Amino acid sequence: MSEEMMNTQEVARYLDIHEKQVYALIKAGRIPGTKITGKWLFPKRIIDDWIESNAKTGLKEAKAKGKKIVGALLAAGSNDPVLDVLQSCLRSTHPEFYIFSANTGSQAGLSALLAGYTDLAWTHLLDPASGEYNIPYVSTHLADVKPVVVNLFHRELGFLTAPGNPLHIKGFEDLLNPPIRLINRQPGSGTRVLLDYHLEKRGLPKDAILGYDRHVYTHYEVGLAIVSGEADVGIATMAVSHILGLPFIPITRECFDMVLTRETFFEKSLQAFMEVLNSSDFQRRVGKLGSYDFTHASKIVYSAV
C-alpha cells in the first residue's frame, strides 16, 4: 500500500486506549476507518488528521459551552517543554489562575485565535521571504482581531539523532541518504515550516526523504521516536536533547511568541502569567536546560493599530 495502515490493536496502542474503545468509536461513527476482508483498517495519515481535527473541535466546544472558568485561559498552537514548567509555576504562585493548552501546531493555533476558539496562540512561524518570525503572518492573517504579539523566549532548534550519531548526520542533505529515517512534525507546525523552507532552499525533494510523511505533534515525541529506534533523526529543541540525552546539531535560534487580543492582554490571569515568566524562580528552574534566552520575555513586539 502507498501509505501506512493500522489495525484495531495498533490504533489502540497509538491512541493509548483499550482496543474495545476503538470498536466503540467505530460503532459510534466517531473514528475514520474502512473494513476490508472482515478486518478494520485505518490509514495512519487519516488518524493523525482525525486527532488534529478533534483537538480543534474541542477548542471550539470549550469556547461555545457558555460560562468560562474564572481565571482560566485557553491556549493552542506550538509546544515547548518550558510551557509545562511555566504553567506549573503559575499554578504554584497563583492557584486561582489556569491555562489549558492544546498542541495543534503554530498555524492551527493562530487560526483558532482568529476564529475565537482560544485566548492565546503559541507560535514560531518563520516567514521565508523576510526571515522574520511570526509578525509577517500575524499582521496579514489576523488583522481583524487586532492582535498583540508578546515574546516569550528565544530557543535553539536543531537535529536530534541517536546516541553517538551512528549515521553521521550533519545537515539537511543527509536526510536523503538511506537508510536514514526522519520523524517529522505535523503540517502547519513551525518546525515543519522551517524544514520545508530549508529543503526548498537547497533543492532537496521531500519525496526522497524516508519518513517525511510520518509526523508527530510535539518535540518530546520526536525525541522519543529516536530513543525507541523508530527513527534516526528529527528536528526538536535543544532542551529535549538535554532531557533525553540525545546528540544535538544546531539549525537555528528562533523566536517563540504568544499572540493574543488586546482584551486578553489586560486580563489578570495573563498578567500573572507574564509575571511568572520573568520571575527568577522560573528562569532558574529552566536555566539548567541551557538553551533559552529570556532577554525580551514579555516584551510586546507587535501590536495592530
The 10s digit of each residue's pLDDT in 217-234 is 999 999 999 999 999 999
Cα separation of 105 and 185, whole Å?
9
Rounded CA gap, 39 and 23, in Å?
Answer: 11
Give me the residue label for grid cell 521565508: 128
Task: Supply 112's cell numbers.
Answer: 483558532
Instruction: Provide the angle, in degrees to the nearest 10, between the axes of the packed helices 190-202 and 106-115.
Output: 130
CA distance linking residue 60 with residue 54, whole number of Å: 10
User: How far is residue 250 from each of residues 90, 160, 208, 241, measured CA to CA in Å?
Assistant: 31, 9, 23, 11
DSSP string over 11-22: HHHHHTS-HHHH
The answer to whether residue 258 scores a pLDDT higher than 60 is yes
Residues 256, 295: contact at Cβ < 8 Å?
A: no
| Strand order across the 5-6 sheet | 5-6, 39-43, 34-36
**Which residues is 177 bridged to in the sheet?**
none
179 prior amide bond cis, ω within 30? yes
The pLDDT tens digits of the residues spanning 65-113 come to 445 667 899 999 999 989 989 999 999 999 999 899 999 999 999 999 9
Distance CA 186, CA 175 (A): 17
Q: Residue 73 corresponds to which cell in the numbers above? A: 485561559
**Mean of pLDDT over the chain:** 89
pLDDT at 2 exceeding the cut of 70: no
Given a cut of 50, is residue 274 above it in pLDDT? yes
Mean pLDDT of 151-159: 97
- Least Cα distance to 133 among 202, 197, 214 occurs for 197
> Which domains, ranges and CATH numbers included, belong to the chain?
1-48 (1.10.10)
Residues in CB range of 271: below 8 A, 6 or more apart: none
The predicted model gives 51-57 an average pLDDT of 62
Residue 59 has pLDDT above 60, yes or no: no
